[in-house]
């Protein structure tokens, strides 16, 4: 069956949808942010604070390289961090690893969700949430689309509807974008 990789902006629901999909298909689930925290032995906030964003981005690329070269999670669901697709190399690796699905939500929906957990996200520190989200989303949108085989626009959809779309993609019942 293969891997399905969920990408999108922070707060889009990638991990939530990924966990549900993995349970429904009895597949392993990997959240790349959680895996990097496990490997590094500290939180992403601590990594950003102590080692910097570039170190974290390199860790993301290293994890993707390991996944693409190994059979680990060859059948599974992977949720990637919101900034992972920004690097061209990461987009290429993601597409090699499996079917990439862009979980797309509007800026308004994302801002509403992110207000609740702003302190847990290093990219949201030190400024106005609305301005940060607008700027980052504008900066990343092309990367998300470039990496994606599929796009699911989640605004107006219930959770089960998004999961059903993901099931169709995983079962090869939906035609990819490219």
- Binning the chain into helix, strand and coil, the percentages to the nearest 5 are 60, 10, 30
Nearest-angstrom CA–CA distance, 175 and 177: 7
CA 76 to chain centre: 14
pLDDT at 174: 67
Q: What pLDDT, in 10s, does the model give residues 19-66?
A: 999 999 899 999 999 999 999 999 998 999 999 999 999 999 999 999
pLDDT reading at 178 higher than 70: no
Q: What pLDDT, in 10s, does the model give residues 63-122?
A: 999 998 887 778 899 999 999 999 999 999 999 989 999 999 999 999 988 887 666 777
**Contact 82/9 with Cβ under 8 angstroms?**
yes
pLDDT at 118: 64
pLDDT at 120: 73
Q: What predicted TM-score, i.e. pTM, was given to this entire model? A: 0.92
Nearest-angstrom CA–CA distance, 147 and 105: 16
Nearest-angstrom CA–CA distance, 170 and 99: 8
Which domains are seen in the chain, by residue range?
Answer: 3-170 (3.40.50.300)
pLDDT at 52: 93
Give the pairing of strands 99-104 and 76-79. Answer: unpaired
pLDDT at 1: 57
Nearest-angstrom CA–CA distance, 50 and 20: 33
Q: What pLDDT, in 10s, does the model give residues 137-166?
A: 999 999 999 999 999 999 999 999 999 999
């Amino acid at each position: 069956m293969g891997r399905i990789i969920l990408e999108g902006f922070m707060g889009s629901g990638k991990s939530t949808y990924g966990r549900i999909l993995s349970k429904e298909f009895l597949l392993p689930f990997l959240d790349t942010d959680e895996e990097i925290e496990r490997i590094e032995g500290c939180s992403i906030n601590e990594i950003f604070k102590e080692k910097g964003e570039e170190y974290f981005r390199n860790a993301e690329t290293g994890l993707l390289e390991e996944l693409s070269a190994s059979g680990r999670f060859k059948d599974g669901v992977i949720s990637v961090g919101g900034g992972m697709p920004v690097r061209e190399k990461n987009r290429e690796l993601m597409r090699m690893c499996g079917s990439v699905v862009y979980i797309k939500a509007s800026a308004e929906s994302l801002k509403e969700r992110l207000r609740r957990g702003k302190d847990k996200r290093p990219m949201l520190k030190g400024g106005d949430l609305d301005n940060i989200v607008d700027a980052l989303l504008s900066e990343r949108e092309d990367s998300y689309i470039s990496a994606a085989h599929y796009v699911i626009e989640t605004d107006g959809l219930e959770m089960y509807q998004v999961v059903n779309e993901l099931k169709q993609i995983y079962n090869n019942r939906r035609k990819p974008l490219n």
